[in-house]
Structure 1
């Protein structure tokens, strides 16, 4: 008995699709001419290549069941699909696979459950799939989507593929006035059209907050006119955006606060015009910006409060501020060129540093904070140098810390700081005190050898020793009883007083510097 059709007057193309669906066979309406088969020009295709969206909906909802022993499915190439493909709230047991097709309406999978959706080389207006569940593959490979993709709170059990696709945000001219989707601008937009246009999503080519992808999310060579909104998204097998070019229409190119992933590749030529924000992200593997190009008027990388096993920060070009504050990083691999502008480091902790970076480069890194001196980054870097056995570099960092802190003090504190720095390097260079002591001892010995002082008491005969006398003046406590036995004369009295004062200063600086080094820093 012939099965009835809910559609009459089917076009030749629709008749082929109807008959092929129960067996899942391909229907190829392409001509073989690349120019004539370009989906971007699909609005010009004739009736022989036109398929109504209503018929696709009916087939996917079971209007023509599978034949016994066969697996039904809709596989269509080179067709012009007219109307909205609205499968919202449906539970689909068959797969939809469109190749080089032109879809003038919206593909809606809101709250739907499906086995898999594949669009390859298609030209689409918009995809809405909020809260949908895809039990297999969701593919938009080499597609052009003119008014954005919505996948907020969706769950994809298989892979998510966006490689080589071109996405535009809803407010882009390409989405509004493209040749394929011309609108009647003489009438005001209805509320439904405003919702469809996504007035709350105007700057986002991909609106996917809360998205969960169990398989890999492969977005290599993606091109967007609009940002990627991935707040709270979970990529259980990684997010791969190598060579993607994200051109934001708002302040953010990537907005992925609290995202979690096993690995994130924003590398190999990844380009972002706008802020890449990953505040509070959790990456259990590698977060890589190797050979990336990132630029923004103010802050180009907002990477604060993250937890990352390994951060590779070796971009090809960076323009703008980098914020790493309060992040916890296992291994940080970077190079000095990664920090062309300001960098916020307060609260950053790391287990290891890698890269060809000298102590001078690291100190310049610490000095780029726009808020000025912060003690924690210096302490963290010094602790790492100690941990790897580079005690001299650790002392250099702590000395730089005291010098940076000095600029925050009032005039008396600054003067005391300059004195401590000059005499003992804030206790981190105690050998400087020995240099000053030796210099003063040599000068005093030479002067008093040529201009000896007079003896105080003449009742006993004493022999004057200029070296012992000068040493007695420099040491705060008299050791050789020379200071009380001889009295300098003339201008050498000033030298004697200078030597006594210098001795006290050296001793005080050594004690203060040693105390500063040994006690915990709470500054």
Structure 2
């Protein structure tokens, strides 16, 4: 019986690929002229550089066995691949390496198990690799992907390389897509619809649940659309230096619950849209050093995180920063990192670096858009105490009381003003000594020139203005001068003022001494 052949006719280019596969040899169809070899112009290449996708698929699925003693593989440069390269649900035993190729139709790797996948400098319509398992390297360095990259729940045992890659988000392509989006818009509203991520055409990279054992190197990445990385895990780090992400929706990066050993959004990283890492866990450094951040509402949403060190020193930033309820080991920042509102309620940190002045820190905790919150002041004061800066801690707690005063009704505000003037809410007790000295000097001078009248005439007394004034200022008479002399004329008002001032000063000092307004124990 005649043996069946998978293809009755192969083009010369396909015959080269077919013959090279058993040994893993390269097939290079490039001319050596840069302009002619540009994969963006691959649709105009002739049949001498055209290979059908189903020929490549057949080879990768075992149409030709390996040559004894050699490792098979598909290595192709400078070709136009026609048709969909579909390896869905397949187990691919050989590596695929395409260099400077043009793939005008999607590459589909859904639910497949593959060896290394390398696309370098290629022009690709779309890649769909949901739930794919890659035993080795997944590389797209220098590629252009026009309609989105899907890596949701993909597992990569080696590195993920997207350095110099250009990704663009897909657009709705059918009336059904438009109808679905319109229905979601009617039911849930535009903001919530985008927040939940239903509009896939806002995402250049859709990679929720992605797991990369090696490093994820995305340096110099360009994306027209957001990166959706919810629940992604990067065991050896995520590196996005000099990447530029221009969101077409509200989020440039949406990476709630991301886990990584380190994350670098630094060295010129640019995000036009919100960078959201709510609930992320970073075992090392999360860096925004020299980043450019811009959003209409919130440029950074970093709440509920756990990170060993956060470097927040962007080159420029526009929008709100949310650090609420995060736990940070070391926070290295700069006042310019917070150009708008900043949410700090619940934030806990072990150390602050960057040496901003205490005044800058007070301006920092006062930027909460919801107004006064006690926890940021208390935690900041506790940190100053731990490092031995007691004066700075008292300044922070005094600022806390002043901010709290603005939230009280007018009786509480009046009492607060008196406490502030008298002893700085107990954190500046020396003010009481200053007020006492001023009142004592004034009373002594007045009563020296306008002495009071003696109350009892049965014995002769000598008036001394200093102890008399001091006795008026002390709430409980100590020198028995108050009852022996009676002020006359307008000095009666001065005597009453001194008595009232003495009670106010004593009350303020007692409030501070008994720690009614005590600093936090931490």
TM range (shorter): over 0.9
For residues 81-160 of structure 1, the aligned pairs below 5 Å read 81-160=81-160
Q: Quick check: 1:8 aligned with 2:8?
A: yes
Q: Quick check: 1:376 aligned with 2:364?
A: no
Paired position in structure 1 for 2:316: 317
Superposition deviation, residue 462 in structure 1: 1.1
Residues 386, 394 of structure 1: 8 Å contact kept = yes
Deviations 1:270-310 (A, max 9, x none): 00000000000000000000000011100110000000000
Aligned equivalents of 1:46 and 1:317: distance in 2? Answer: 48
Superposition deviation, residue 451 in structure 1: 1.0
Aligned equivalents of 1:444 and 1:200: distance in 2? Answer: 77
Superposition deviation, residue 356 in structure 1: 2.7
Paired position in structure 2 for 1:58: 58
Residues 420, 513 of structure 1: 8 Å contact kept = no
Aligned equivalents of 1:484 and 1:296: distance in 2? Answer: 71
Aligned equivalents of 1:270 and 1:521: distance in 2? Answer: 39
Aligned CA distance change for structure 1 residues 312 and 59 (closer, same or farther; 3 Å): same
Residues 428, 517 of structure 1: 8 Å contact kept = no
Aligned CA distance change for structure 1 residues 220 and 3 (closer, same or farther; 3 Å): farther
> SS at 1:105's partner residue?
coil
Q: Which moved more, 1:115-124 or 1:512-521?
A: 512-521
Aligned equivalents of 2:69 and 2:80: distance in 1? Answer: 30
> SS at 1:98's partner residue?
strand
Aligned equivalents of 1:199 and 1:382: distance in 2? Answer: 44
Paired position in structure 2 for 1:282: 281
Q: Which moved more, 1:402-411 or 1:6-15?
A: 6-15
Superposition deviation, residue 514 in structure 1: 3.4
The runs of 5 or more residues in structure 2 that have no matched partner are 182-196
Aligned CA distance change for structure 1 residues 520 and 425 (closer, same or farther; 3 Å): closer
> SS at 2:93's partner residue?
coil
Aligned equivalents of 2:225 and 2:199: distance in 1? Answer: 13
Residues 216, 236 of structure 2: 8 Å contact kept = yes
Superposition deviation, residue 448 in structure 1: 0.8
Instruction: Report how many aligned residue pairs link the two structures.
Output: 503
Paired position in structure 2 for 1:447: 446
Paired position in structure 2 for 1:185: none
> SS at 2:105's partner residue?
strand
> SS at 1:369's partner residue?
coil
Superposition deviation, residue 9 in structure 1: 2.0
Superposition deviation, residue 516 in structure 1: 4.6
For residues 342-353 of structure 1, the aligned pairs below 5 Å read 342-353=341-352
> SS at 1:426's partner residue?
helix
Paired position in structure 1 for 2:208: 209
Aligned equivalents of 1:148 and 1:66: distance in 2? Answer: 34
Residues 512, 518 of structure 2: 8 Å contact kept = no
For residues 30-429 of structure 1, the aligned pairs below 5 Å read 30-171=30-171, 200-429=199-428
Aligned equivalents of 2:321 and 2:445: distance in 1? Answer: 57
Deviations 1:12-68 (A, max 9, x none): 100000000000000000001100000000000000000000000000000011000
Give the superposed CA RMSD.
1.8
Aligned equivalents of 2:299 and 2:264: distance in 1? Answer: 17
Deviations 1:183-235 (A, max 9, x none): xxxxx6688xx99xx97411100000000000000000000100000000000
Aligned equivalents of 2:434 and 2:114: distance in 1? Answer: 80
Provide the TM-score with structure 1 as the length reference: 0.94
Aligned equivalents of 2:9 and 2:198: distance in 1? Answer: 39
Q: Quick check: 1:498 aligned with 2:503?
A: no
Residues 382, 520 of structure 2: 8 Å contact kept = no
> SS at 1:397's partner residue?
helix
> SS at 1:141's partner residue?
coil
Residues 425, 517 of structure 2: 8 Å contact kept = no
Superposition deviation, residue 515 in structure 1: 3.7
Deviations 1:99-134 (A, max 9, x none): 000001111111100111000000000000000100
The runs of 5 or more residues in structure 1 that have no matched partner are 177-187
Paired position in structure 2 for 1:182: none
Aligned CA distance change for structure 1 residues 521 and 376 (closer, same or farther; 3 Å): same
> SS at 1:352's partner residue?
strand
Aligned equivalents of 2:518 and 2:390: distance in 1? Answer: 17
Aligned equivalents of 1:343 and 1:276: distance in 2? Answer: 14
Deviations 1:154-180 (A, max 9, x none): 0000000000000000029xxx8xxxx
Aligned equivalents of 1:105 and 1:97: distance in 2? Answer: 17
Aligned equivalents of 2:490 and 2:23: distance in 1? Answer: 114
Aligned equivalents of 2:270 and 2:90: distance in 1? Answer: 38
Aligned CA distance change for structure 1 residues 286 and 434 (closer, same or farther; 3 Å): same
> SS at 1:285's partner residue?
strand
> SS at 1:295's partner residue?
strand
Aligned equivalents of 1:12 and 1:429: distance in 2? Answer: 90
